Structure 1
Amino acid sequence: MPYAAVNDTHLFYRIDGTENRSAPWVVLSNSLGSDVSMWTPQIAEFTKHFRVLRYDTRGHGHSAAPQGPYTIEQLTGDVIGLMDQLGIERAHFAGVSMGGLTGVGLGARYANRIDRLVLCNTAAKIGSPEVWVPRAAKARSEGMLALADAVLPRWYTPEFIANNALVMSQVRDVFVHTDKDGYASNCEAINAADLRGEAPSIKARTLVISGTHDLAATPVQGRELAESVPGARYVELNAAHISNVELANEYNKIVVDFLLGA
C-alpha cells in the first residue's frame, strides 16, 4: 500500500486517473470517522477529467494515528506535505465535513498551492466544546462502537438509510474500526479550529455545498461560509451530512462542472 512520510506521521493515499498526465490534480479529503472509501462514488466520473489523489486523514483508515491532540495546522500541513512528496505543485481540493474545514485552512493559508476549492457539508467553525469534548472522551474510554448508533444516523436521511443497507454496513464497518485515539484527536482539532476570521482571505474560486437535512454542518452555516469567501458559489442538495454519497450523481455533475468551468 502507498504511504508517505509527512509532517512526522505516515499517510496512506491512493491515486487514480494518471493515464492522462496533463490532467489537473484534485485532492479529496475525508470526513471524520471515514476513510478514502467515502470517495468511491466519485472516482469513475472524476478520473475522466482529473488525476485524483485521496488520502486517509491522520488517525483514520490506514494512516498512522500519532499521539494527539491534533491541530488544523497539522491537518493542512499534511496535505501540503503529501503534495510535496508526490511532486504536485498545485491542485484543486474537495473535502467533506472535517475535510472541508481542512480546505478552508488550505485556501486561506496556501493560496499558491490551491486552484479551486469545494467545501462540502462544512463550516469555518464546526460544532462546540459541548459536542466535541464529550465525544472525544467517549471514544477514548468506550471505543468507536459506543458512538456508532448516535453518530451514523446523522450522516444520511432516513430514506437513504432504509434503502441502502449495503452502503450503511460498509460505512459502519469503517467507522467502528477507526482508531479511537485518532478519532478523538481529530475531534479536538475540529473543536479548536475557528477559521471564520480567515475564510474572507481565500482567493481561490470556491464552491460551498450544503445538505438541506444536515444537522452537523447546517445550511445556515454553509451559506455563512459561502458569504464570507469572496465570490463563492453556494449549492444546497436534498441530502444530509455525506452528500457526495447520498446524491452521488448530482454531486459529481455539480463539482465537475465547477472545477472545469471558465
Structure 2
Amino acid sequence: MPYAAVNGTELHYRIDGDRHGNAPWVILSNSLGSDLSMWTPQVAALSKQFRVLRYDTRGHGHSEAPKGPYTIDQLAGDVLGLMDTLKIARANFCGVSMGGLTGVALAARHASRFERVVLANTAARIGSPEVWVPRAARARTEGMVALADAVLPRWFTADYIEREPVVLAMIRDVFVHTDKEGYASNCDAIDATDLRPETHGIKLPVLVISGTHDVAATPAQGRELAQAIPGARYVELDASHISNIEKADAFTKTVIDFLTESK
C-alpha cells in the first residue's frame, strides 16, 4: 500500500495506468467522508487514456489524520506535495464536493501545475457555519456512526438508495470508519473556506458538474460557480450529491470527453 510523506502527513495513494508511460496524468480527489475507492467506477475507463492518481485526503481512508483544524491551503498543498513527490509536473484534476473545493483553490492559485479541472458537486463556498460547526462537534463527541443516517441519505436519490443497497452498504462502511477527528477537521476547513472572490481569476479550462437533486451543493451553486469562471462549462446530471457513482457512466463519459477534446 503506497504512502507519501507530504507536509508532515502520510498520504495514501494509488496509481492506475502505466505509471512510467507518456499518458497525461489525472488526479482524483474524494468527497468528505469517503476515500479513494469512491472513484472505482471511473478508474478502468480513465486508465486507458491517462495515468490516474487517486489519494485519500488527509483525515480520510488510510491517510493520516493529524491534529486539526485543517485549512484549504493544506488540502491544496497536499495535492501539490504529492505531485512533487511523484515527479508530476502538470496534471488534470477532478474532485467531488470537498475534492472539488480543493480543485477551485488549485485552479485559482496554482494554475501552472494543471491542464484542465473538473469541479463536481461543489461550490466556491459550501454550506455555512450553521451546517459545519455542529457537524464537526457531533463527529468529535458522538462519532461517525451517529452521523451516518443524517448524512448519507443526502448523497443519493431515494430511488438509487432503494435500488443499490450493496453499493450503499460499502459507502456507509467507509464513512463510519473515517477518523472522527479527521472528518471534523475537514469540516473546519470547508467552513473556513470562501473562494468566491478568487473564481473570476481562474484561467484554466474548467468543467462544472452538478446533480439535479443535490441539496448539499445545489445546481444553482454549480451554475454560479461556472458563470464566475471565465469560459467554464456546466453539465447537470440526474443525480444527487455523489454523481460520479449515481450516474457513473454519464459522469465518466462527460469527464473523458472534456479532458481529451482538442484545445
TM-score interval, smaller chain: over 0.9
Alpha-carbon distance in structure 1 between the residues aligned to 2:261 and 2:98: 26
Shift of 1:20: 7.0
- Give the secondary-structure state (helix, strand or coil) at the position aligned to 1:194: coil
Aligned to 1:25: 25
Question: Is 2:82 the counterpart of 1:51?
Answer: no
Instruction: Give the counterpart letter for 1:47 in structure 2.
Output: S
Shift of 1:203: 1.1
TM-score, normalised by the number of residues in structure 1? 0.99
Aligned to 2:170: 170
Q: Please give the residue correspondences for 1:206-221 in structure 2 after superposition, counting only pairs within 5 Å.
A: 206-221=206-221
Aligned to 1:196: 196
- Give the secondary-structure state (helix, strand or coil) at the position aligned to 1:112: helix
Alpha-carbon distance in structure 2 between the residues aligned to 1:20 and 1:177: 33
Aligned to 1:37: 37
Question: 1:133-182 deviations in whole A, cap 9, x for unaligned?
Answer: 00000000000000000000000000000000110000000000000000
Instruction: Give the counterpart letter for 2:134 in structure 1.
Output: P
Aligned to 1:124: 124
Alpha-carbon distance in structure 2 between the residues aligned to 1:7 and 1:93: 20
Question: Is 2:180 the counterpart of 1:185?
Answer: no
Alpha-carbon distance in structure 2 between the residues aligned to 1:168 and 1:121: 18
- Give the secondary-structure state (helix, strand or coil) at the position aligned to 2:178: coil
Identity of aligned residues (%): 70
Instruction: Give the counterpart letter for 2:101 in structure 1.
Output: L
Shift of 1:94: 0.1
Alpha-carbon distance in structure 2 between the residues aligned to 1:228 and 1:18: 36
- Give the secondary-structure state (helix, strand or coil) at the position aligned to 1:10: strand
Aligned to 1:244: 244
Instruction: Give the counterpart letter for 2:49 in structure 1.
Output: H
Question: Is 2:261 the counterpart of 1:261?
Answer: yes
Alpha-carbon distance in structure 2 between the residues aligned to 1:98 and 1:69: 15
- Structure 1 140/18 Cα, relative in aligned 2: closer, same or farther at 3 Å? same
TM-score, normalised by the number of residues in structure 2? 0.99
In structure 2, runs of 5+ residues without a counterpart are none
Q: Which runs of 4+ in 1 moved over 6 A?
A: none
Instruction: Give the counterpart letter for 2:185 in structure 1.
Output: S
Alpha-carbon distance in structure 2 between the residues aligned to 1:238 and 1:220: 14
In structure 1, runs of 5+ residues without a counterpart are none
Aligned to 1:93: 93
Instruction: Give the counterpart letter for 2:45 in structure 1.
Output: E
Instruction: Give the counterpart letter for 1:130 in structure 2.
Output: E
Query: Aligned-residue CA RMSD in angstroms?
Result: 0.7
Aligned to 1:145: 145
Moved more, 16-25 or 252-261: 16-25
Shift of 1:257: 0.3
